[in-house]
Amino acid sequence: MLEHLPAWLGAMLRNVRAGHSKLVIVQPELAIGDAVIDLSSPAFAYGGRLPVRFTADGEGVSPPLVWGDVPEGTVSLALIVEDPDAPALHPLVHALVWNLPAGERRLAEGAIAKDGGGAEDGRDVGRNSFFSEGWLPPDPPTGHGSHDYVFQLFALSEAIPIGANPTRSELARVIEGRVLGAGMLVGTYSRGEDKPLSSPGIVGASPA
């Protein structure tokens, strides 16, 4: 959708961004604490450019994710993916997934997809900012600069009670008081920027 904005307009909106301070993971009411989950992807390094296949310029499937041990007492996991660089008042939501089993350690490529009422094991995929279930492929405006796509994984003390297709704000509210730890992975993407692709096959990369 945003890929259809002309480059001159994207350039004019370059400094209009929702802001990283509005990401779910940095909200103080979550009281995340010091427990860190090692979240990574075999498809791109932390801070690296997302391969085209995961964006609106390619196949548009969700990237694979892997993570390490979760805090003791974890019952379920929730994943929120946001773009804080979107030219909007709030970060653009690219994925909502909740009630992943505590023993889960990966999401395969393309796993964030429309699932209706959810899976038999309780996991459910919600709606993105374009009101469709599943992964919203990155499509930043041409000339707007690099966008961060922030994957936020939360370890929760229980399976969360929430209705079908909650909003990002509803999901953020319901995990309050249940967060035992969290992990974060950042991928980037842009149009009209001279930036090489990161090398695939990097697992466990983290910021310096």
According to DSSP, the residues that pair with 130 across neighbouring strands are: none
Residue 201 has pLDDT above 80, yes or no: no
Q: Binning pLDDT at 50, 70 and 90, where does residue 4 land? A: low
Q: Binning pLDDT at 50, 70 and 90, where does residue 164 land? A: confident
Element of type H or E holding 181: strand 179-189
Per-residue model confidence (pLDDT) at position 162:
87
pLDDT of 68-102, one tens digit each? Answer: 999 999 999 999 999 999 988 999 999 999 999 99
Per-residue model confidence (pLDDT) at position 13:
41
146-170 average pLDDT score? 92
State the average pLDDT for the chain.
Answer: 86
Residue 194 has pLDDT above 60, yes or no: no
Per-residue model confidence (pLDDT) at position 163:
78
Residues 188, 51: contact at Cβ < 8 Å? no
Residue 64 has pLDDT above 50, yes or no: yes
Q: Which of 163, 134, 152 is nearest to 30 (CA)?
A: 152
Q: Binning pLDDT at 50, 70 and 90, where does residue 152 land? A: very high
Per-residue model confidence (pLDDT) at position 17:
74
Determine the Cα–Cα distance for residues 138 and 152; give it in Å rounded to an integer.
Answer: 16
Determine the Cα–Cα distance for residues 86 and 19; give it in Å rounded to an integer.
Answer: 8
Q: Binning pLDDT at 50, 70 and 90, where does residue 117 land? A: confident
36-60 average pLDDT score? 97
Determine the Cα–Cα distance for residues 100 and 93; give it in Å rounded to an integer.
Answer: 18
The CATH H-level (homologous superfamily) assignment of domain 2-7+21-189 is PEBP-like (3.90.280.10)
Q: Binning pLDDT at 50, 70 and 90, where does residue 16 land? A: low
